[in-house]
Amino acid sequence: MAHPEADLLPELQEIDLYDPERYRTSSQHPAWARLREQAPMWAQHTPDGDRFWSATRHRDVAAILMDDKRFSSEYGTILAVAKGDIAGGRTINLMDQPHHARVRLPVMRTMSTRVSRERKERVREHVRRAVGDAFSSGEVVDVAAFAIHLPLAAIGDVIGIPRELWPQVPRLAMAGVAPGDPTYSAGGESHTLNNAHLELFSMFSELIQERRRNRRDDVISALLDIDFGGRPLSDHELLLNCYSFAMGAITTTPQVASHLILELCRQPHIWRRLRADPGLVPSAVEEALRWASPTNHLMRRVLAPVRVAGVQLEPGELVCTWVASANRDSAVFDDPDTFDPGRTPNPHLAFGVGAHRCIGGPPAQVVLAVLLEEMLDAVQEMSLAGEVTHMRSNFINGITRLPVLFRPRPGGGAAVGAASMASSR
Ligand code: HEM
């Protein structure tokens, strides 16, 4: 895809980064390109009248996310809760130091790079079950529908969610993040959200009770044993943290798979290049992360006076860092609007950066690599087979429908997976 031409970029007064509907019907990349160029810190109001600044350049986004002393996560990190998140201070992603480290450090070991790579073949078995015969049936498959099952293949065991519950959890999680999207909404937005919360919280509540009796090597058990400044996490804090891990995984990982497959359909030469050189799988996964940037933005609240891109910010102000924009910044990436599966280095910010950098990055990278390896083994060619629909959300860059026809590769083999596994070490 070519770089958006300057005369096709919207004027500043036409830009609205809040309106969720715009993300469903069009790309915001031209707007972000205009802002990076002309207004790298740009103020807008939410429909409720709360002003937020938008940072769109890679260097400003990275600087803000790295500076957790002056930019707080406790107030809330998504625009939808610009009035303040009720879970603030009580769950890992919405905590400042020292509370944050008390939760993060004990849990990290369950999904480190080493542990995640060691689990790769188990993840492959789960992926095969989740994908079924999607690649070989010769029928049109909705990739978005099977991709939502990838996160639990990667991390269901690690969080501690029993396998019999894996089929229903992803849809509830998606309803939790996009209750207004027609794909997940049932009986209205607030009913959908309440129902998703009720179901997920009661599932985790039972699992927590069970782990109180029998600890295992999983996230739920690790959370139960946390020393949270001289006390354990309360029942409510435990629930909120379990929810954060499930949501963190399920709302993001599938989007990388869907955006990658969409691009492979649109640009068959990328697929041919990957087939010719399966050693590109690890860099292709990183490029897919940059390209998809599943979380469009991460919000922070200013704690102390600070200047960003010439703008003076005062305590209490809200700043939205647009990760999706930073990942297309030509100051950092050559040809940022070109999907290059061999791109190295690739300093994308899809997992964030700094103290809150995604804790689930390693398992996400493993499951995406496995998916691509499985496709290389099984698929000859693929093509779009219907309309693609996007999620109505300013937070998640989601695809809700992606009909694809996969043409199976005659007599697929195991050699491809082995080649790319060797190069990912
Ligand atoms: C491609 C997949 C993923 C993407 C793009 C992604 C993206 C992100 C980003 C951008 C952050 C930083 C949030 C912030 O700074 O406010 C984050 C944090 C987090 N992610 Fe992920 N995530 C992915 C997969 C996962 C998985 C598989 C898990 C499951 C364990 C997970 C759980 C979390 C948690 C718990 C946090 C909060 C970490 C902290 O505050 O210390 N994510 N993720």
Local confidence band at 312 (pLDDT 50, 70, 90 cut-offs)? very high
DSSP secondary structure letters along 230-299: SSPPPHHHHHHHHHHHHHHHHTTHHHHHHHHHHHHHH-HHHHHHHHH-GGGHHHHHHHHHHHH-SB-EEE
For residue 201, the model assigns a pLDDT of 97
Distance 253 CA to ligand 1 centre (A): 9
For residue 416, the model assigns a pLDDT of 40
Mean pLDDT of 306-335: 98
- Residues 199-207: contacts with CB within 8 Å, 24+ apart? 199/168, 199/172, 200/169, 200/172, 200/173, 200/176, 200/243, 200/246, 201/239, 201/243, 203/161, 203/165, 203/169, 204/238, 204/239, 204/242, 204/243, 204/246, 205/235, 205/239, 207/160, 207/161, 207/162, 207/242
For residue 257, the model assigns a pLDDT of 98
Residue 155 CB–ligand 1 contact under 6 Å = yes
Among 319, 358, 395, the mutation site with the greatest number of ligand 1 atoms within 8 A of its Cβ is 358
For residue 175, the model assigns a pLDDT of 93
Q: 218-272 pLDDT, tens per residue?
A: 999 999 999 999 999 999 999 999 999 999 999 999 999 999 999 999 999 999 9
Distance 247 CA to ligand 1 centre (A): 9
For residue 368, the model assigns a pLDDT of 98
Percent of the chain past pLDDT 90, that is, above it, reads 90
Distance 356 CA to ligand 1 centre (A): 8
- Would you call 160 helix, strand, or coil by DSSP? coil
pLDDT at 420 over 80: no
**C-alpha distances out from residue 88 to 84, 201, 316, 352, Å:** 7, 17, 15, 19
- How many CB atoms lie under 10 A from the CB of residue 35? 24
For tokens 């607030």, name the residue: 190
For residue 395, the model assigns a pLDDT of 96
For residue 185, the model assigns a pLDDT of 86
pLDDT at 413 over 90: no
Residue with more model confidence, 419 or 64:
64
pLDDT at 412 over 90: no
Residue 298 CB–ligand 1 contact under 6 Å = yes
Q: Where are the domains of the chain?
A: 6-424
Distance 359 CA to ligand 1 centre (A): 6
- The CATH number assigned to the domain with range 6-424 reads 1.10.630.10
Distance 43 CA to ligand 1 centre (A): 26
Q: Which of 4-13, 42-51, 324-333 has the lowest mean pLDDT?
A: 4-13
Residue 398 CB–ligand 1 contact under 6 Å = no
Measured CA to CA, the distance from residue 3 to residue 1 in angstroms comes to 7
Q: 51-78 pLDDT, tens per residue?
A: 999 999 999 999 999 999 999 999 999 9
Residue nearest to atom 15 of ligand 1 (CA): 356
Q: 272-288 pLDDT, tens per residue?
A: 999 999 999 999 999 99
Distance 396 CA to ligand 1 centre (A): 12
For residue 422, the model assigns a pLDDT of 36
Q: Using CB atoms within 10 A of its CB, is residue 163 exposed (0-12), middle (13-18) or buried (19+)? A: exposed
Residue 284 CB–ligand 1 contact under 6 Å = no
